[in-house]
Amino acid sequence: MAENNPNRQMRLLVNPHYHDERYPTLTEEKRKRSNLPKGMLKDAGEKLPFIKEIIYSLEKENIPLWNKFLEGYYDASGISSEAFDQAVQISSSGNMGLSDEMRAKGIELKSSVQPSIFYLAFNMADPVIGGYSESAKKLRQAISIAQDQEEYISIFTNERGIAAQGPIPPGIFGYKEGKEGTNFAVYEWIKGKRVRKSLDVAKKLLAEAGYPDGISEKTGKPLKLYYDTTATGPDDRALMDWRRKQFGKLGIQLVIRTSDYNRFQDKVRKGKAQLFSWGWNADYPDPENFLFLLYGGNAAIDTNGAGINSSNYKNPEFDRLFNKMKTMQNTPERMKIIQKMLKIVREDAPWVWGVYPKSLALTHQWYSNVVPNAMANNTLKYRRIDAALRAKRQQEWNQPVILPLVLLVLFMGLVCFLLYRNYLNRQKAVIRKKEY
């Protein structure tokens, strides 16, 4: 570290004594199996690292950062909400691609699904929404179907996410694509596509749970549920309105209870929150790191709030399979056990599985060997920069614009000419007046 000024910039220099390490060598077949883009093998066998100096600069606002990236002074950039429409186009089918402006500059879009999940949790210890009876399961399944996660992703995340099918996100062993990885408690597989079950199915489940049209058969009153959150700002109002709407589709009244974060955590740890939103980022790339969120031995109410199982979910068969699976190698046998566990939790529905977030990044064409990997922190040594191309593009994109200066000079000249002509006219008028 040659310079460490967090309020301005941090500068790193290559270690001249770094051990002899080479860029990975792969066959074309292995490259394809690893889903690596073309061109990733051109540096195979070359000594690492390629970049001799790295500078991180602090930008306190998004707009200057974005403008400097477009001018070529930053090699990569995220996409803020202000710049999203300028950078990304979304097709009618929901596919994401670069805008014409970005493609014209040779900018590349890098996207990846993060090893994370955001979900809506049911407190399984709650007498209304919790429990393991058939009616309780159907109530949670009905609510899960009504929560239109695809709409949430479109409205609140600019399509930066995919609807979750269970606790395990893509890229983690145990996750399956397509029909095999579908949560059939909430979705159907129609013509090769995953389709959310209709609201009629959710209403039927709700009626079977004892709440036809959202009215309790026992009390004759509308079902009222309580959602705890820390969302108190004006920007959160739209999200809370959307939450109420999702429950309202079933005739369920959702009461929003806001509090500060400490009070919210206290409620969750003591099992006093009925419904709440939560999330998890992987500590390490293993299914155990997600499935332990639902392990009964980690239930918050049984561990004085120390347990990570905030929904207090406890299923003996799930727990038995978890203990068997957690230390296994990634073998076909482990995959079978995980699929059994997923089937159990999908049916019990302790969570509305929510969203796997997707990250987006933009890189210039001179910045190569870039592959998104949220679990790897040692990728800088593989990166390469074509400094000559960067300097060329910076010069092309930042030519001085002299037209405004020319127009200003012409305008000032015109003003001076008009003033001078007016002065001459006034002088002539005075002379004529004296002659008369």
Q: pLDDT tens digit string along 16-28?
A: 999 999 998 888 7
Note the pLDDT tens digit of each residue in 246-264: 999 999 999 999 989 999 9
What are the residue boundaries of the structural domains of the chain, listed by start?
3-113+360-397, 116-358, 405-436
Query: What percent of the chain stands above pLDDT 70?
Result: 98
**Which pLDDT tens digit goes with each residue over 360-389?**
999 999 999 988 888 888 889 999 999 999
Is it the case that residue 435 has pLDDT exceeding 80? no
Examine the pLDDT at 432 and tell me if it is beyond 70.
Answer: no
The residue type found at 393 is R
Reported as a single tens digit per residue, the pLDDT across 41-73 is 889 899 999 999 999 999 988 889 999 999 999
The pLDDT-based confidence of 231 (bands split at 50, 70, 90) is confident
Beta carbons within 10 angstroms of residue 254's beta carbon: 18
CATH of 3-113+360-397, one of 3.40.1350, 3.40.190, 3.40.50, 1.10.286: 3.40.190
Backbone angles phi, psi at 187, to 5 degrees: -120, 160
pLDDT (tens digit, 9 = 90+) per residue, 295-328? 999 999 999 888 999 999 999 999 999 999 999 9
Class level of CATH domain 116-358: alpha beta
Is residue 428's pLDDT more than 80?
no
- Residue whose token pair is 């994109």: 397
Same fold across 3-113+360-397 and 116-358: no
Mean local confidence (pLDDT), 386-400: 92
Contact 118, 352 (CB under 8 A): no
Residue 349 token pair: 């529905």
Closest CA to 298 of 277, 312, 315, 280: 312
pTM score, two decimals?
0.83
Residue 307: which residues within 8 A CB-CB, separation 6 or more?
297, 298, 299, 300
As a whole number, mean pLDDT of residues 406-424 equals 89
Q: Looking at residue 431, what is its pLDDT? A: 67
CB atoms within 10 A of CB 345: 21
What does 246-302 look like in DSSP terms, one character per residue?
A: HHHTTT-EEEEEE--HHHHHHHHHTT--SEEEEEEE-SSSSTHHHHGGG-GGGBGGG
* 25: helix, strand or coil: coil
